Structures are given as structure tokens and as C-alpha cells.
């Protein structure tokens, strides 16, 4: 099942994408795609609906962030073997950091460079959306706590990240620096999250192409590790790291400029398309 939130920013409605790619309205069954909608019993009820009985939504409305009420975004750094092979030491356990929920935007919304940005960068990532409260769980139980999966772009302003203090948050949390979606694909449609091709192109040129099998720490291990240090609540998002090909590792380095277009794809999860624009107050 592919869950979406569609409509103008701040006035999104819940929906789903049926097997023919038609957007259907879900507002008669859930108020929004939030923690209550992601609970296991509610997801089972939604999967039992016949999409043909749901109203088709005309036109091509904006698709917003596919889940609302996100409490936190937990992200993993240096989690692909080929990325680490570029010269970083092999971590003993996942490198985790937080990204502000205010960085979220829809998968086709513009990405706006903050004032002073000179080294804005891209990172295609598999995102997990938590569906059950998780605290100190084992890797064997971890994926049972995942409601579904999305495409994420963990954008970074590298100058803010590396040159303005020891933490990464300043460069990771700018507004629009976490496009998510276009939809949330429920866990039953992704039997193995460690077997997904992912790709990012910039103005049509492939910059990143890999498979989630190359992760150092699996999705299950990441959820379990994060849950040892903080309770994961329903609706929280976990970003699983990016493969090689980010701009700051190019030779010479390449960074985002207004007018460029990023396209992201992960097998089974759809595609993103974001145009880079200048800051607008």
C-alpha cells in the first residue's frame, strides 16, 4: 500500500495510490497519515479496503510529506561500505545524528539553499518510518517496528556541517533539506529492505547508484541501535545512510546551484524530483 498526503502545504489530505497509479482519497477512513494511521491494526484495516470504493482525486495535486507529526529524524552516517572505502575509518557501531523535522518537505517541492550556502550537497537514502514504539529492542525484532519505507534526500550544507562547530546539525537541518516521499510504502510490499537499488541524478547525470545490500549496518541493526539510546515513537523517521557519489567527494567537488534538478529513485518506492532554488524569506 502506498500512502500519501496531498494538497497545498498545511492543508494536506490523506490518500493512497492504487494499483493503477490513481490517487484515491482516504479522508473517510483516517484523519491524516499520522501515528494513529500507522498503528499496525489501522494499517491492516486500510489494506483491507477496496481502492475502487475510494474517491479518485482529479488533476495532479501536490504531494506533501507522506507522514505528519514526525517527532524526530534519526540519521546514520558513513553506512555504505564503498563510502567508507573512500578513506574513512570503519565504525564499530552506527554513527547516528539528528536532523530537524522542520527540514522535511514534499518529494516534488523545491529545495531552497539557505543564505550563505556555498557547498550544498545531495544524499539519496532509504528512509524507515516507525510504526511501533521501540525501546532497547533486538535486531531480530526491529523490522516489526517499521510501518514502511520512503525515499529521502539527506541534503547537507557542507560548510555549515564541517566548519561551524563539532556537530553536524547546522548543515543538516536547513529548511527543505529533507525531501521525503513521494509516498510511504508499507512494510508488506518491501520484503527485503537490503535488496533495493537506489539512484540519484543531477541534471540528468548519474551521481549515485548503489544497492542497499552494501550497507555496513542493516536497517534492522540501525533501528535496534537507535532504540538503545532513545525511544523511537510512531511516526519517527530513520535515515539509513548514503552511498558514494555525494558532491563533496567528487573530484573536483561539485555543489548544488539554483536551477539544477535532482532526481532520486529507489526500487519499489517511486521517484523524487526536486528543483534547487535560492532562499526565499
CA dist., res. 34 & res. 157, Å (int): 29
Sign of CA dihedral 244, 249, 253, 259: positive
Helix (H, G, I), strand (E, B) or coil at 110: coil
pLDDT at 87: 65
pLDDT at 106: 98
23, 5 Cβ separation under 8 angstroms: no
- Among all chains, which residue has been given the C-alpha cell 489501522? 42
DSSP conformation class of 56: B
197, 32 Cβ separation under 8 angstroms: no
CA dist., res. 90 & res. 93, Å (int): 9
pLDDT at 161: 85
Domains belonging to the chain, first-starting first, are 68-277 (3.90.850.10)
CA dist., res. 97 & res. 76, Å (int): 7
DSSP conformation class of 58: P
Query: Minimal CA–CA distance to 80: which of 122, 119, 126?
Result: 126
CA dist., res. 4 & res. 184, Å (int): 6
Report the predicted TM-score, pTM, of the whole model to 2 decimal places: 0.96
Question: 181: which 3 cell numbers?
Answer: 516521499
Instruction: Name 151's Cβ contacts closer than 8 Å, sequence gap at least 6.
Output: 107, 124, 125, 126, 127, 180, 181, 182, 198, 264, 265, 266, 269, 270, 271, 272
pLDDT at 235: 97
- Among all chains, which residue has been given the C-alpha cell 578513506? 87
pLDDT at 128: 98
CA dist., res. 199 & res. 244, Å (int): 11
Helix (H, G, I), strand (E, B) or coil at 187: helix
Tell me the average confidence (pLDDT) per consecutive run of 10 residues in the chain, 281 residues long.
Answer: 97 97 97 96 96 97 98 95 71 94 98 94 98 98 98 95 78 96 98 98 97 97 98 98 92 95 98 94 70
Amino acid at each position: 500500500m502506498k500512502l500519501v498526503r496531498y494538497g497545498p502545504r498545511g492543508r494536506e489530505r490523506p490518500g493512497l495510490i492504487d494499483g493503477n497509479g490513481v490517487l484515491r482519497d482516504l479522508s473517510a477512513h483516517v484523519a491524516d497519515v499520522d501515528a494513529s494511521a500507522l498503528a499496525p491494526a489501522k494499517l491492516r484495516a486500510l489494506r483491507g479496503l477496496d481502492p475502487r470504493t475510494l474517491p479518485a482525486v482529479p488533476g495532479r495535486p501536490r504531494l506533501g510529506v507522506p507522514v505528519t507529526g514526525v517527532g524526530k529524524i534519526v540519521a546514520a552516517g558513513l553506512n555504505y561500505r564503498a563510502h567508507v572505502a573512500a578513506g574513512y575509518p570503519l565504525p564499530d557501531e552506527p554513527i547516528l545524528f539528528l536532523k530537524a523535522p522542520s527540514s522535511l518537505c514534499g518529494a516534488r517541492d523545491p529545495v531552497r539553499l539557505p543564505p550563505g550556502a556555498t557547498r550544498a550537497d545531495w544524499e539519496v537514502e532509504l528512509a524507515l518510518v516507525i510504526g511501533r514504539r521501540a525501546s532497547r529492542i533486538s535486531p531480530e525484532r526491529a523490522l516489526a517496528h517499521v510501518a514502511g519505507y520512503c525515499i529521502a534526500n539527506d541534503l547537507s550544507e557542507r560548510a555549515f556541517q564541517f566548519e561551524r562547530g563539532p556537530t553536524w546539525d547546522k548543515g543538516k537541518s536547513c529548511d527543505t533539506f529533507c525531501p521525503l516521499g513521494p509516498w510511504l510504502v508499507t512494510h508488506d510490499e518491501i520484503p527485503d529492505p537490503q535488496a533495493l537499488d537506489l539512484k540519484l541524478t543531477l541534471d540528468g547525470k548519474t551521481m549515485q547508484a548503489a544497492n542497499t545490500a552494501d550497507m555496513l549496518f542493516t536497517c534492522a541493526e540501525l533501528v535496534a541501535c537507535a532504540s538503545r539510546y532513545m525511544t523511537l515513537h510512531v511516526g519517527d523517521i530513520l535515515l539509513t545512510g548514503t552511498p558514494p557519489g555525494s558532491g563533496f567527494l567528487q573530484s573536483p567537488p561539485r555543489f548544488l546551484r539554483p536551477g539544477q534538478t535532482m532526481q532520486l529513485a529507489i526500487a519499489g518506492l517511486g521517484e523524487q524530483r526536486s528543483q534547487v532554488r535560492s532562499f526565499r524569506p
